[in-house]
A and B are shown apart, each in its own frame.
Chain A
Amino acid sequence: MTATKTLIYDGSFNGFLTAVFAGFEQKLPFADIQKERSAQNGLFSETETIFTNIDIAKRVWNGIKGRRNSAIKNIYFSFLSGEKNLEPLLYQYIRKIMGSKHVASDFSDACILKISQTAQKVHREKHRMEAFVRFQLTKDGIYFANIEPDFDVLPLISKHFKERYADQPWIIYDLKRNYGLYYDLNGVEIITMDLSHTLENSIKKNTSLVTEEYDYQDLWNNYFKSTNIKSRINKKLHTQHIPKRYWKYLSEKKEAV
């Protein structure tokens, strides 16, 4: 039996990369990398706690990047999926890449395929969020949006929104993970807020928004309805494109929620 070793890290991406480094240093063929909070010890495995080290994380990052640039994206994206027990698989993936840079395109290898498919899933969610964020203009002149994405995609969409809305302050707040991005015309920072009332769709008007906000929502609603061609109705396709879990924050689906 090959002894597996359990490496426990703090849950951050840098922590994970540090753990990968430790695994490589000890030449572990398998490393059971686990998050602090959800760690479970194997009956016969040794356990080591990893302390996040940014310099080491950077070294690992650059090492993989030097091997194969596109692999970095796959690793980061699938890490953000937060899927359970993905870390050991990622460790294997990194070991394979470091062994030969060509294997990254071996889609007949179960590990490579799984990682690239997971990354693809996260990428899809990122793309959805770029589409489904709905800003509402508050009285302090900030465009505010709530989201509850399946995966932790805020770090991935930040650049897109910064470039697109460079001349308006905005906040995109992830209620599921309880943090958000705030752009103040200079740069984007990470914020956490105590949101007593979220800006979900409701018929009741929210007093913290400018009054014309609801006029534009109505106009948008109207447009949404009249652009639909009744003789071609296809609700199944509609919900396939906009799954119901996203409706909560889409003003055009206000009545449907």
Chain B
Amino acid sequence: MGNASNGICHSYSEDGRCISLLKILLTNHCIYDCAYCVTRRSNDIKRAAFKIQEVVDLTINFYRRNYIEGLFLSSGIFKDPDYTMERLIAVAKKLREEENFNGYIHLKSIPGASDELMYEAGLYADRLSVNIEIPTISGLKLLAPDKKHEDFAKPMRKVKNEIIRFKEERRLLKSTPKYAPAGQSTQMIVGATGESDKDVMYSATHFYKNFHMKRVYYSGYVPISNDTRLPSLGTQVPMLRENRLYQTDWLLRFYGFSVQELLNEQYPNLDMQVDPKLSWALRNLHHFPVDINRAEKALLARIPGVGMTSVHKIMKARKFRKLDWDHLKKIGVALNRAKYFILCDSRYWERRDMDAERIKGLIISTSYGKFRNQYSNQLSLFN
């Protein structure tokens, strides 16, 4: 039963996040004491654990009712990493072999799990992930003293190598058993250790390059304790920052930007007021204006307010006629930002000789982003 299709969100929680998988912990017992985690050993909370069969039943019955795409199973660590990893694998194995479940399974690789177990996990899971959680090694030492950086890297490296090996063997022998077909991913907490956006994105780039990650996720830290090493309770979750980091991630993966262009010694943090592409464009006005009707694809992708869908449409449409403002608007270009950076089939050109500050001011004053109240100096009457 079942198949893995791409990206169906069966529901959305009230915080607006996609619910596509049954995402649960096998247990919240844990031998570790990581400061940023609710299930840390020293936290006085009620502990519980699922039986393997219970997780299997839940998954199957939710799946049959079209609630979910599959299972995302993680766990606190009881006894030791290998013991925990074995149990996670047991759930996946049971689903695949006894229930003939072909839906999506995402397993957490437990830091420190052995290579043999990581190999077995990949046979049943679509995706494997280790959450690096803290982007800097110094931060990790501070907040998760029991864990070593190598514990994270080891299962990642094993999975990467197995995926490469699988691809090679598959070419020779079609029946090679599948290994983690959806690759591996990782997650970082942002805003817990005072790291810069540069730290976060440089380590994300490191994971994309050296571990062939499919995705790196960024998660704004939600305060859970009064530990002095961490932001105190009641601190706002850095959602805007999270949003900017994801935008940067997209620019790196789909728009042909390199991380050094967006973040460097001179600009270690992203501009919260405007999106990272606009911010880059304002620093590099010498690349603009770009002629919509002539410029190559890579250059079109760098215009603020022009997404990849628009780039694709522009490339197609301009073969038939020269495009003007009206065409661009209909295609879906965000002209309120784009108009300062482009030339098209019209004598009217917006920028004339405005400088970066002026353009930025004009764009901000005419846009109504969802996060606007977080950076605007104007206090709201009703807040």
Cα–Cα distance between A3 and B243 once the two chains are bound (Å) = 56
Q: How many residues of B contact A (CB 8 A)?
A: 44
Tell me how far the C-beta of A179 lies from the nearest C-beta in chain B, rounded to whole angstroms. 20
Is the C-beta of A51 less than 8 angstroms from some C-beta in chain B? no
Q: What CA separation (Å) do A163 and B19 show in the bound complex? A: 22
Complex: A242 Cα to B17 Cα, angstroms:
11
Instruction: Tell yes or no: B313 within 8 A of A by CB.
Output: yes
| Assembly CA distance A110 to B327 (angstroms) | 9
A103 within 8 A of B: yes
Contacting residues of chain A (199-257) with chain B, CB-CB under 8 angstroms: 216, 219-220, 223-224, 227-238, 240-242, 250, 252
Query: Which residues of B315-334 are within 8 A (CB) of A?
Result: 316-321, 323, 327, 330-331
Confirm or deny: B175 has a beta carbon within 8 angstroms of a beta carbon on chain A: no
A166 contacts B1, CB within 8 Å? Answer: yes
Are B16 and A107 in touch, CB under 8 angstroms?
A: no
Chain A: minimal CB distance from B31 (Å): 24
Say whether B178 faces chain A, with CB atoms less than 8 Å apart: no
Q: A232-B15, A234-B16 are known contacts. Are A127 and B8 too (CB-CB below 8 A)?
A: yes
Instruction: Tell me which residues across on chain A come within 8 A of B318, comparing CB atoms.
Output: 108
- Contact A233 B14, beta carbon cutoff 8 Å: yes
A242:B320 contact, CB within 8 angstroms: no
Any B CB within 8 A of the CB of A133: yes
Known: A127-B8, A227-B13. A107 touches B331 (CB 8 A): yes
- A256 — nearest CB in chain B belongs to which residue? B14
- How many chain A residues touch B (Cβ–Cβ < 8 Å)? 49
A106→B11 contact, CB < 8 A: no
Within 8 A of B (CB), among A97-124: 102-103, 105-110, 113
| B164 sits at the interface (CB 8 A) | no
In the complex, the answer to whether A242 meets B222 with C-beta atoms within 8 Å is: no
- Tell whether, in the assembled complex, residue A106 and residue B237 are in contact, meaning their CB atoms are under 8 Å apart: no
- B64 touching A143, Cβ below 8 Å: yes
Q: Does any Cβ of A come within 8 Å of B62's Cβ?
A: yes
Q: B15 contacts A228, CB within 8 Å?
A: yes
Counting CB contacts under 8 A, is B201 at the interface?
Answer: no
Find out whether the CB atom of A235 lies under 8 angstroms from the CB atom of B316.
no
Residues of the B chain whose Cβ atoms lie less than 8 Å from the Cβ of A238? 12-16
Determine the residue in chain B with the shortest Cβ distance to A132: B10
Task: Tell me the dominant secondary structure on chain A's binding face.
Answer: helix
Question: Would A232 and B66 be within 8 Å (CB), given that A106-B317, A241-B9 are in contact?
Answer: no
In angstroms, how far is the closest chain A Cβ from the Cβ of B230?
14
- Cβ contact within 8 Å between A136 and B14: no
| A232 proximity list for chain B (CB < 8 A) | 15-17, 220, 222, 237, 239
Q: When the two chains form their complex, are residues A237 and B5 in contact, meaning their CB atoms are under 8 A apart?
A: no
Task: Report the Cα distance A165→B3, complex, angstroms.
Answer: 9
A193: CB under 8 A from chain B? no
| Structural contact, A106 and B320, CB atoms closer than 8 A | yes
Q: A227-B13, A233-B15 are in contact. Are A136 and B317 (CB under 8 A)?
A: no
- Given A165-B64, A227-B13, A232-B220, 12 extra CB contacts under 8 A: A106-B316, A106-B317, A106-B319, A108-B320, A113-B331, A145-B66, A164-B2, A164-B3, A165-B2, A216-B65, A220-B62, A224-B19
Chain B contacts to A: CB under 8 angstroms: 1-3, 5, 8-19, 22-24, 58, 61-62, 64-67, 100, 220, 222-223, 237, 239, 313, 316-321, 323, 327, 330-331, 370
